Amino acid sequence: MSGGSYNDGKEEVCAWIRDNFPGARLLDVGPGSGTWRDLLPEYRMDAVEIFAPTVEEIKGKYDAVICADIADVSYDYDLVIFGDVIEHMDVEKAQRVLAYARKHSKDFIVAVPWKYKQGICYGNQWEIHIQDDLTPEIFAERYPGLEQLWANERYAYYHDGSREVL
């Protein structure tokens, strides 16, 4: 993984989304090349991307693409996907972003790599991993209340465990 995302667990998470959120409106935060859009073509899906050159590359894939820091965006969606996003923020900001998602969506998914150091990629300073120390234990301490959907030794998916899904 370099400036992107592991494919690990995506098939299982897509099945979980289809089972629990049929017909939902999705928000893909930090969409990269638009992998979630490609994996879930039947959904209405918008994206929020902080890096303007990436917005130009993906804007035709999504119903709408907002070029902004997710911490500065107001939204209401059924499901928000934070795919490889929170490790790029300091802990306080990531906690604030997830607290907002908890109030403004029915659920959210957080995908995160474990102990992954990354610097600037493709000229994008936002690719730096600020939380490059994450492990399952550290994640649980920093982000209590999230329930694991899928995990292996290098990567995991969580959702808001405080809510009951379908």
Give the tens place of pLDDT for each residue, 8-66.
Answer: 899 999 999 999 999 999 999 999 889 999 999 999 999 999 878 888 889 899 999 99
Residue 161: pLDDT band by 50, 70, 90 thresholds?
Answer: confident
| 82 part of a folded domain | yes
**Does 2 fall in a domain?**
no
Evaluate if residue 131 carries a pLDDT over 70.
Answer: no
Do the Cβ atoms of 32 and 87 come closer than 8 Å?
Answer: no
Query: Is the pLDDT higher at 149 or at 4?
Result: 149
Confidence of residue 115 (pLDDT cuts 50, 70, 90): low
| Residue 108: strand pairing partners | 80
The runs of H, that is alpha helices, within the chain are 10-20, 35-39, 52-58, 91-104, 136-142
Q: Comparing 131 with 159, which gets the higher pLDDT?
A: 159
Closest CA to 107 of 160, 158, 157, 143: 160
Q: What is the pLDDT of residue 1?
A: 35
For residue 80, which of 104, 57, 55, 59 has the smallest C-alpha distance?
104
| Residue 4 domain flag | no
Do the domain assignments include residue 112?
A: yes
Q: Which two tokens stand for residue 54?
A: 């990436």
- Count structural domains, the chain: 1
Q: Give me the chain's average pLDDT, please.
A: 87
Domain holding 63: CATH number? Answer: 3.40.50.150
* Residue 65, domain extent: 10-160
Residue 127 lies in a domain: yes
Which of 118, 115, 101 has its CA nearest to residue 158?
101
| Rounded percentage of the chain residues whose pLDDT exceeds 70 | 85
